[in-house]
Amino acid sequence: MSQNSVSVLLVEDEEAIREMVNFSLTRAGFSVTEAADASVAQSLIGQQLPDIVLLDWMLPGISGIDLARRWRQDGRTQHVPIIMLTARGEEEDKLRGFDIGVDDYITKPFSTQELIARMKAILRRHSKPDADTVLVARSLKLDTVGHRVSVDGDSLTLGPTEYRLLQFFMSHPERVFTRSQLLDQVWGDDVYIEERTVDVHIRRLRKLLEPYACAKFVQTVRGAGYRFSQQV
């Protein structure tokens, strides 16, 4: 996911955990705001809705679970994705018993990699479909509503993967993506696919674009990955 600064509200009273999570998420491109207790969290969410909340269960004062319940009952915050951070054992069991509609929970100690993977899965589920748009690169047009690709009015028939690949590229032009980023973005990380699969679909996509002189937009960046660029 291009974390085009996905905003994260991290509510956790243990400073060491906050620092670790903040560091890893920031490095992964997320924009993190920290709160050490429920009242700070409440005030922050009152100012701005984050894209996702990481919420510790055991907080001084109002507990994370009570805060989650309160947010779920409030029309403004009810759809904000929440991942509960819980301690092993009792909290886990209790959480199953509560039906407050948190999106997921993760047991401490957790790896930040796993946390990020879960966050991405939830964000994907929550992400609204793209606005009705036609992506354009010179004569190449991709209509995300009609799922149509055309060049100067000639329509092209793309396989589903090539279509998603092209849509992703055209929505993120001039940026280099590694094979693994493309796998994550275009295929999703629910499936295990080898990185060379990306090359196969890139080749197919280029072949489809070749007769229209648009294959050159899909560029190989040596040692890095691929980029979609009109600067050819």
Is 20 a binder of Ca ion (CB under 5 A)? no
Is 91 a binder of Ca ion (CB under 5 A)? no
> Which contacts (CB < 8 Å, 24+ apart) does range 215-222 have?
217/137, 217/138, 217/140, 217/169, 218/169, 221/176
Would you say 85 or 165 has its CB closer to Ca ion? Answer: 85
Would you say 58 or 100 has its CB closer to Ca ion? Answer: 58
Report the nearest approach of Ca ion to the CB of residue 42 (Å).
17
Counting every residue, how long is the chain?
Answer: 232
Report the nearest approach of Ca ion to the CB of residue 87 (Å).
8
Would you say 15 or 210 has its CB closer to Ca ion? Answer: 15
Structure tokens at 87: 């301690």
Name the nearest CA neighbour of 57 among 26, 89, 21.
Answer: 89
Residue nearest to Ca ion (CB): 58
Among 7, 13, 135, 151, binds Ca ion (CB under 5 A): 13
Contacts of Ca ion in 32-71 (CB under 5 A): 56, 58
Report the nearest approach of Ca ion to the CB of residue 64 (Å).
8
Report the nearest approach of Ca ion to the CB of residue 59 (Å).
6
Stretch that binds Ca ion, among 6-14, 65-73, 99-107, 190-198 (CB under 5 A): 6-14
Would you say 12 or 162 has its CB closer to Ca ion? Answer: 12
Would you say 36 or 135 has its CB closer to Ca ion? Answer: 36
Contacts of Ca ion in 152-171 (CB under 5 A): none
Determine the size of the site formed for Ca ion (CB under 5 A).
Answer: 3
Which residues of this chain interact with Ca ion, rule CB under 5 A? Answer: 13, 56, 58
